[in-house]
Amino acid sequence: MTWLDRGWQIFAPESGVLDWLKTAAPAAIEASRDHHARAEWLRCDGTWFVGVDTLPNDPSGKIGNSGPLDCAALDAAQKVSGVLPLHKGQVSAAYPGYPKRGPEESKGAYKFRRVRDAAHVDGMRPAGNARRRFLNEPHAWILGLPVTECGQGASPLVVWEGSHEIIRHRLNAILQQHQPEKWGRIDMTATYQAARREVFETCRRIELPGIPGEAHLIHRLAVHGMAPWINGSVAPVEGRVVVYFRPHLNQISDWLKLP
Ligand SMILES: [Fe+2]
């Protein structure tokens, strides 16, 4: 079974990732400590640094003197999407106590974060006060690269196994009625919520704690989130740090069509 069947796959540690981390890990940690970046990206009362686009890599993944990012997970991803330039990586750092409730979060959203790991599909973030959902960022895949060595309870990524096919089926039922150019303007809120409910009722919840050198590949349509930090979990002072890449597809229709 691969990520295309289950919606997720762990690729065992390999030298390509470990070599890359020699430069990328200190760069990621430095990014998560930067004052300006922290002012912009700390959430959940300081227990999560979201760190979108904060890793200083080039489109091949190179940072400073490092080589390009080269690993089996990236090869598997690009076999499906074609080669896509990498954006600056997201540096996601979780800290003990995650999630606390910050001023940016409603009571309901906070409860969902605690109880349901803030489960979501990337690319359909809620917009405005009414939190309506539109397909605004068609990502190709999500590639996670653990940076720090942590215990199992240090807010691992969570994936609902097989959820990508439920999401595909439900969203396709609506979107196939429209030209792809119009997909970004179709309100998907009700469909998305019903699909997510079905996922919670029928799919297995899988936690993916990682170790440096591994690569985690998540299907673009998979429901995923981040687990609360379990008290006493082992982690370095930098927290549980993971770098994520999730480049956009060139064609929005590929979001539902590709394997
Ligand atoms: Fe996400």
Length of the chain equals: 259
How far does residue 123's CA lie from ligand 1's centre (Å)?
Answer: 8
How far does residue 121's CA lie from ligand 1's centre (Å)?
Answer: 6
Domain membership of residue 259 (yes or no) is no
How far does residue 138's CA lie from ligand 1's centre (Å)?
Answer: 12
Domain membership of residue 240 (yes or no) is yes
How far does residue 18's CA lie from ligand 1's centre (Å)?
Answer: 24
How far does residue 23's CA lie from ligand 1's centre (Å)?
Answer: 25
Mean pLDDT of 51-69: 97
How far does residue 218's CA lie from ligand 1's centre (Å)?
Answer: 10
Entry pTM:
0.97
Total domain count, the chain: 1
DSSP 8-state class, residue 128: T
What pLDDT is attached to residue 208? 98
How far does residue 7's CA lie from ligand 1's centre (Å)?
Answer: 13
Strands (E) across the chain are located at 8-11, 42-43, 48-49, 90-94, 126-127, 132-133, 141-146, 157-160, 205-208, 215-219, 224-226, 240-245
What pLDDT is attached to residue 157? 98
List, for residues 82-113, the tens digit of each pLDDT value. 999 999 999 999 999 999 999 989 999 999 99
How far does residue 124's CA lie from ligand 1's centre (Å)?
Answer: 10
List, for residues 187-229, the tens digit of each pLDDT value. 999 999 999 999 999 999 999 999 999 999 999 999 999 999 9
Q: Are 54 and 31 in contact (CB under 8 A)?
A: yes
What pLDDT is attached to residue 126? 82
pLDDT at 31 over 90: yes
Phi, psi dihedrals of residue 217, rounded to the nearest 5°:
-110, 125
The per-residue pLDDT of the chain, averaged, comes to 97
Q: Are 160 and 224 in contact (CB under 8 A)?
A: yes
What pLDDT is attached to residue 45? 98
- Beta-carbon neighbour count of residue 239 at 10 Å? 24
Domain that holds residue 27: 3-249
pLDDT at 127 over 90: no
CA-to-CA distance for 128 and 132, rounded, in angstroms?
7
List, for residues 131-150, the tens digit of each pLDDT value. 899 999 999 999 999 999 99
Domain membership of residue 144 (yes or no) is yes
Domain membership of residue 258 (yes or no) is no
How far does residue 120's CA lie from ligand 1's centre (Å)?
Answer: 6
What pLDDT is attached to residue 79? 98
Extract the tokens encoding 159.
Answer: 């994936």
Domain membership of residue 256 (yes or no) is no
How far does residue 244's CA lie from ligand 1's centre (Å)?
Answer: 9
Residue 249's Cβ-count burial label (10 Å; 0-12, 13-18, 19+) is: buried
How far does residue 195's CA lie from ligand 1's centre (Å)?
Answer: 16
What pLDDT is attached to residue 152? 97
How far does residue 51's CA lie from ligand 1's centre (Å)?
Answer: 12
User: Domain with 96 in it: what CATH number?
Assistant: 2.60.120
Domain membership of residue 54 (yes or no) is yes
Extract the tokens encoding 16.
Answer: 């390509």
CA-to-CA distance for 258 and 141, rounded, in angstroms?
11
Residues whose beta carbons lie less than 5 angstroms from ion ligand 1: 122
How far does residue 158's CA lie from ligand 1's centre (Å)?
Answer: 10
Amino acid at site 16: G
DSSP 8-state class, residue 180: G
How far does residue 245's CA lie from ligand 1's centre (Å)?
Answer: 11
